[in-house]
């Protein structure tokens, strides 16, 4: 087992979000172990400036080009930090030679091209941005092999599985079981789901996350994306992936081996642990995070996922079986549907309708290239936006 070399130089894409800010907390709490090479935000210039002043990276990227002047002016007295803007700059920064690992903590399809560039430049990837593996799992895992880099999961379920597999290199997986909290609407009927509001959907029982993944968790699309993410991270056949609802979110996921033995990883729901594990890998770093006690959780419970009510999970399994560009269509349609729901334009159940109809309408490709994924994403957004507009209230 290789040992970790510290300090590790981190490029943190999406530093102003839920994962990004928690990653910076991990870095602050581990003095001498990590340095920050680059930071990026989409539009939150104020927080990006503060972070840049504290961590003094070699580069920052603001996605929204209209805010470049503001960030440049604020960092004018910090000549060591280059200030850039726009998606092309983001991809360039992901590939800069002065980082060891790129933590992809931006949300959505926007993670794809920077992640491709980082892998091509030989960077290890700490992957929070699951959408990248959903959209282009085959392409990304091929690139990872070709460039000999590590793809380290940050998603808590995948981190759990990854941790269970340490020392098991000789032992094939029989199956994995991804746990799901069930979200705020567990147990509701479709009639009840038709009435739920954005505010209710944004209240996750166990995790405090960005808006998009919180809606995905309420609709079970997040679990569907995670099923596809797991397939690629762990090289699984579709039928080797199960989902079980576990409302307490203490068991973060499980691996079953060929002798029937199950290994699980447990802990309080706190993303700082999987973030730290990915950044520190292969070393476990001491920390002050609150510890789990069984006595505080006398009951850990389990139930099947209701894919009849929560259609998104069934749609994601179906897109995975179809393969090709189907998961890319699923993802793009979902991004459009979630954004429309967050603008109060469509209802909760209509999100699945937009995804399902997009999957039926957008042209299927069995073996897409990177360019094909870019075109599929664009075409799907057009189709899904039209579908969402037709349903807008
Ligand atoms: P947030 O919405 O909290 O943060 C997203 C980050 O990405 C922000 O820094 C945001 O900048 C930036 N961003 C937004 N849009 C773009 C874009 N088009 N291009 C580049 N950057 C952009 O999301 P989360 O931190 O919750 O999630 C990030 C990723 O991690 C997602 O893929 C999610 O699925 C995954 N993940 C998150 C978990 C969590 O607990 N939050 C758990 C497991 C996985 P700005 O602030 O300026 O808008
Ligand atoms: Mg997760």
pTM for this entry:
0.98
Report the pLDDT averaged over residues 296-320. Answer: 98
Pick the CATH number of 8-153 from 3.40.50.720, 1.10.1200.10, 3.90.550.10, 2.60.40.420: 3.40.50.720
* Reported confidence tier of residue 2, pLDDT bands at 50, 70, 90: low
Pocket test for ligand 1, best of 42, 133, 334 (most atoms within 8 A of CB): 42
Task: Judge whether residue 393 has pLDDT over 80.
Answer: no
155 lines ligand 1 (CB under 6 A): yes
Q: Which two tokens stand for residue 225?
A: 């994306």
Q: Which residue puts its alpha carbon closest to atom 31 of ligand 1?
A: 107
Q: Identify the pLDDT of residue 224.
A: 98
Ligand 1 mean position to 213 CA, how many Å? 8
Report the residue among 105, 110, 115, 127 best suited for mutation to probe ligand 1: largest number of ligand atoms under 8 A from its CB.
Answer: 105
CB of 44 within 6 A of ligand 1: the answer is yes
- Mean pLDDT across 281-287: 98
Name the pLDDT band for 91 (thresholds 50, 70, 90): very high
pLDDT in tens, 251-265: 999 999 999 999 999
Confidence band, pLDDT 50/70/90 cuts, at residue 196: very high
Closest CA to 139 of 158, 120, 160, 123: 120
Rg for the chain, CA atoms, rounded: 20
- Given a cut of 90, whether residue 50 has pLDDT beyond it is yes
Mean pLDDT calculated for residue range 373-382: 98
Q: pLDDT at residue 3 above 80?
A: no
- CATH architecture, domain 323-393: Orthogonal Bundle (1.10)
**Which ligand 1 atom is at minimum distance from the Cα of 155?**
43
Proportion of the chain above pLDDT 90, given as a percent:
98
pLDDT, position 331: 99
pLDDT score recorded for residue 4: 77
pLDDT tens per residue, range 104-161: 999 999 999 999 999 999 999 999 999 999 999 999 999 999 999 999 999 999 999 9
Q: Give, rounded to a whole angstrom, the gap between the first and last alpha carbons of the chain.
A: 57
Mean local confidence (pLDDT), 266-288 = 98
Half-sphere exposure of residue 296: CA atoms within 13 angstroms, side-chain side: 8
CA 131–ligand 1 middle distance (angstroms): 11
Q: Indicate the average pLDDT of the chain.
A: 97
Averaged pLDDT for residues 304-317: 98
**271 Cβ inside 6 Å of ligand 1:** yes
The Cβ of residue 97 has, within 10 Å, a number of other Cβ atoms equal to 8
Backbone phi and psi for residue 337, each to the nearest 5 degrees, phi listed first:
-65, -40
117/191 Cα distance (integer angstroms): 45
Confirm or reject: Cβ of 20 under 6 Å from ligand 1: yes
Going from N- to C-terminal start, the domains of the chain cover 8-153, 323-393
Question: Quick one: which of 23, 12, 34, 27 has its CA closest to 103?
Answer: 12
pLDDT at 1 over 70: no
Is the shortest distance between the CB of 207 and ligand 1 below 6 Å?
A: yes
Residue 242 confidence (pLDDT): 98
Q: What's residue 392's pLDDT? A: 84
Q: Which two tokens stand for residue 244?
A: 């079980």
CA-45 nearest atom, ligand 1: 47
Residue 352 phi, psi dihedral angles, 5° rounding? -65, -35
- Cα of 242 vs centre of ligand 2, distance in Å, is 14
Cβ of 208 below 6 Å from ligand 1? no
């Amino acid at each position: 087992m290789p040992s970790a070399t510290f300090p590790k130089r981190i490029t943190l894409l999406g530093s102003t979000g839920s994962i990004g800010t928690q990653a910076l907390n991990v870095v602050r709490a581990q003095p001498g172990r990590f340095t920050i090479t680059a930071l990026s935000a989409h539009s939150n210039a104020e927080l990006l400036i503060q972070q840049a002043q504290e961590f003094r990276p070699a580069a920052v990227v603001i996605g929204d080009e209209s805010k470049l002047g503001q960030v440049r002016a604020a960092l004018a007295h910090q000549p060591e930090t280059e200030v850039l803007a726009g998606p092309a700059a983001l991809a360039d920064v992901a590939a800069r030679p002065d980082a060891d690992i790129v933590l992809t903590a931006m949300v959505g399809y926007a993670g794809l091209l920077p992640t491709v560039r980082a892998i091509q430049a030989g960077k290890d990837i700490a992957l929070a941005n699951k959408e990248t593996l959903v959209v282009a799992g085959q392409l990304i895992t091929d690139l990872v092999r070709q460039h000999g880099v590590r793809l380290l999961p940050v998603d808590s379920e995948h981190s759990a599985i990854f941790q269970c597999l340490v020392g098991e290199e000789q032992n094939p997986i029989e199956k994995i079981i991804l746990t799901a909290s069930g979200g705020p609407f567990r147990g509701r009927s479709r009639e009840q789901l038709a009435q739920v509001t954005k505010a209710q959907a944004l209240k996750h029982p166990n995790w405090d996350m960005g808006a998009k993944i919180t809606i995905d968790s309420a609709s079970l699309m997040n679990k569907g994306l995670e099923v596809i993410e797991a397939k690629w991270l762990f090289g699984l056949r579709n039928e080797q992936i199960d989902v079980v609802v576990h409302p307490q979110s203490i068991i973060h996921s499980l691996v079953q081996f060929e002798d029937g033995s199950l290994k699980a990883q447990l802990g309080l729901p706190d993303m700082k642990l999987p973030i730290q594990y990915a950044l520190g890998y292969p070393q476990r770093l001491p920390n002050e995070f609150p510890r789990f006690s069984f006595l505080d959780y006398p009951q850990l419970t389990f139930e099947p996922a209701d894919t009849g009510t929560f259609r998104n999970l069934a749609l994601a399994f179906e897109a995975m079986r179809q393969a090709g560009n189907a998961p890319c269509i699923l993802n793009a349609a979902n991004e459009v549907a979630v954004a429309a729901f967050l603008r109060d334009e469509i209802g909760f159940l209509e999100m699945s309708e937009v995804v399902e109809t997009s999957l039926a309408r957008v042209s299927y490709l069995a073996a897409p290239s990177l360019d094909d994924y870019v075109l599929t994403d664009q075409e799907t957004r057009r189709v899904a936006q039209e579908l969402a507009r037709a349903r807008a209230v």
